[in-house]
Structure 1
Amino acid sequence: MAGVKLRLSTAFHPQTDGQSKVVNKVIAMYLRCVTGDRPRAWVDWLAWAEYCYNTSYHSALRATPFEVVYGRPPPPILPVDPATARTEAAGDLIRTRDEMLAEVRQRLLQAQQLAKHYYDGHHREAEFAVGDWVWLRLLHRSTQSLDQRAKRKLGPRYAGPFAGARIHDVFHVGLLKPFRGEPPAGPSALPPTFDGRLLPEPEKVLQAQLRRGVWFVLIQWAGLPAEEATWEQRDDFRQHYPDFQLEDELFARTGRDV
C-alpha cells in the first residue's frame, strides 16, 4: 500500500539501494566522531546518531527524514533536569545526553582553536590608512592580464597601481602589501582593454584560415614568443584593431572573396 519495492542486495554492495548506502556512511561518520576515544561505547550512542540524522535537513528531500515520515517537524532537544525524570533509566539517559553535548561543544571549540592557530601561522598583521600606497596580489588573475611582458612562474606576484583597471576596488587585507620607497606621482595608465581583458599589440599575421564560413587569423603578438601566437576571428580582430592592415594575399590563397 505504501508503494515500497523490496530489492535484495548484498550488505557491502547495496547498488540497488543507494540511499541506504549513503545513510550507512553518514551514521558511521557520526559514530566515528562521537566514539573516537571510546570505541566500546558505540552502541550507547547509536540512538543519538539516529536522532541527529533524522533531524538533519536533507537538500534532496528539502526537509528532515523525521518530517517526511511523521508529517511534522522533529522535536527539539530541550534542557531537562535529570532529577525530574520519572524513572532512573530516563534520568541516566538525560544525564548522558547532557554530558555528550558538553563534550561535543568542547571538541568544537578545540577544533576551532586548532584551525585558528594554523591559519594565523601563515598570516601577518597588516593595517593601512586612507591614502597609503600598496601592492595587490593577484590570486585569481594572471599578472599577464595587466602586463604581457610579465613572466609567469618567476614573475612578480604583486602588481599595481593602475588607473582604469576593471578590478573591484575592495580586497581582503591579506592580499595587500605596503609600498616601500618613493611613491609614484600617480597611477600608471593601462593599455587598451576590452571586457576587462588586456588588448596586446599585434605584430603580424602569420596565417589565415576559413572554418565553417568564418575567417580566423593567426596573430603574432608583439613582445611574445612565436608559440604564444593565437587564432582570432577576423571580424573581432578588425573591431579591436581597426588601424591594423590585414594583407589580402592571406585570404586570396583560398580563392574566395573576403
Structure 2
Amino acid sequence: MDPSKVEAILSWPAPTNATEVKSFHGLCSFYRKFIGNFSGICAPLIDTIKGGRKCLFVWTNEASRSFETLKRKIAEIPTFGLLDFHKVFVVECDSSNRAIGGVLSQEGRPVAFFTENSNEAKQKYSTYDLELYAMVQALRKWRHYLPPKEFIVFTDNHALSFLNRQEKLHHRHVKWMEFLQYYTFTIKHKKGVANKVADALSRRSLTIQEVQLESAGIHTIKDMYATDDDFKEIYKGKGQTSNVGLYTPLPIPSKPWDLVSMDFVLGLPRTKFGYDSVYVVVDRFSKMAHFIPCKTTHDASHVVGLFFKEVVRLHGLPMSIISDRDPRFIGHFWRTLWKKLGTNVALSSAYHPQSDGQTEVINRSLGNLLRCLTQEYDSSWDSILAQAEFSYNDSINRSTGMTPFQVVYGVRPRGIMELRDVSHLEKKSALAEDFAKVMKDVHDQVRNRLHHTTEKYKAPIDKKRRDLQFQVGDLVMVHLKKERFPKEKYTKLMMKKLGPCKILKKCGNNAHQVDLPSSIGLSPIFNVADLYPYKGSIDDVFVAGEQRLQHDESLKEISQPSTLEIESILDKRVTKQTRRKVYYEYLVKWKHQPLEEATWMSKEAIEKAGF
C-alpha cells in the first residue's frame, strides 16, 4: 500500500478531549464492516467518553493502543479496494475553517484519503469558496485516476450542485473552473450528516450513527395488486412506459442528402433582427447540418422558403424528410407540396423523440456551441450561427469517422487557423486522376462505417429490451402520458391506461395506429412501449370515465394529423402596419385537435388551406 494514500489517517494525532474521540470513532464506524472485531477494538476508546461532560477526560494506555490499532486496520490492504478503471469513481470532499479533506472510493470501498490544512488566507474564504477549493484540491490530488471517464463528486454544500449554471464568476473561481473543465463529472449534494468520511477528515468532530431497516418480502406486495379483490381494478388503471420494442434504426441512405431530418430549436433570446429560434436540417448520411435562423411565428410557407434557399440550392431535393409532429409539418400545405415534388414525408410517433434522436442530439450540440461562442452577449447569437455551423461540419463524427465536409466534398476546407496536417484522404483526393472513384470509395467507406456503428449501438440496447409484436385487430391497453394532454385537461385522478383499444394499422415494428375514441382528441399513433396486451374481457374495462368503449364502425375512421382541416378563427393580431395597409395573423383552431394546438397563420396560408 502506498503510504501517501493513507497519510491522513496514519498521521491523525491522539485525541485530547471527548469530542475528538467521537470524531475519530465516527470515521472508523463508516468502515466497520471491513474491520474484524470492531466493537472489541473500540471498547477502550468508548470508555474514555463515558460519563458525559461532568467526568474528567482521561487518555489511558489501552485507549492509545486501541487508537493505533484502528488506524492500522483502516490502512490495511483488506480494507482498501483495488483500483478498477472499469468501475465508477466516487469523490467525497468537505471543508472546515482549519482543513479540507476527501476520500476516493469505488463501490463503497475506500481507495485513498486526502487532507490538507488551511492557512490563514484560506481560513478567511467563504463556505462556498472553501467547499469549491476542497473539490479542486481533491481532483488535483487524484488527477491520474479520474480523467479517462465520468465520475461522481459528493459535497454537502448544496450551492455547488449548480456550479455549471453560474452566469458570473468571481476572479478566484475563474482558474478553478478552468481546471475543472478538464474532467467529466456529476456533482451531487449529500447532507453533512451523511458525508461522513470527508467531514471527519476536515473537521475531526462528528459523531456518526447509521440505522438501516430491511423487511424481508416487502417487495412481493407489488405482485399481489393484480389479483387482490380490493386493488385489482385500480391496478388496471395504473400505467407506465414498459421496456419493450427492439431498437429499430432508420434505413441508411446510399448517398449524401437523400434522407434528411429537420427540427426547431425554440426559446432562444430574441435578436435585433427578430429571430428567436433555429431551423436545423441534418443529412442522415454525411451528418452535415445547416443552422438557419428563423422566427417562431413563421408558418409552413416561410419554412419551405428557407429550406429551398439554404438547402435545396446547395444539395437538391431529398428523397425523404423525417421530422416530428410540429403543426407546420403536419399541415395540408406542407404535405401536398412534398407529395407533388416526389419527396416522402415521414413523421415520428407522437411524444416519442427517440424516432429522430440524431436531430435531438445535434440540437443539444448547437446549444453548447452557442453558449460557448456568445458568452454574455446572448442576444447576438444569430451573428455567430455561421461559425457554429462551420465548426460542427468540420468536426469528426463518431459514427462516420470523418467530418461532414469530407463525406460530401472529399476534402476538409481551410479554417481561419489551419494548424492540422493534411490527412491521407486529402492527398489522395488532390492527386487522384478519377475524382468520382475517390468519392465512391469515400461513400462506401462511410456506409460500411454507419452499418457497423448501427449494429454496435443496437446490440447492447436490445439486451435490455424484449421484443413485443402486435397484429392488426389485437386488443391493447394504451398508456396515456401526461405530456399528451393540454395543461387544462390533465388531472392527477385521470386513468393512466385507456382501453381496450383495437390495433388498426402497423406503422413499423414499434409504432401502431390505435382505435381511440374521437372525444379523446389525441394522436392515435403510439409506440409499442406505451401499449400493453389486453388479457381480460371487453366488458371489464371502462374508457377513462366515459361510457364503455364500443367497437363500432364509427370509431374506425379517425381524422389523421396529415389531413388537418381548419375549424374556426379564434383571434387575430397585427404583425405589420404601413401607411396604406395593415397585415394580420389569425389564430386557427384545427378540427379534432385540442385548443393548445391552435396555430397563428397569415391570410395567404389560410387561403392555401382551402378555408
Same fold (TM over 0.5): no
TM-score of the superposed pair, with normalisation by structure 1: 0.35
Higher RCO structure (Cα 8 Å, ≥6 apart):
2
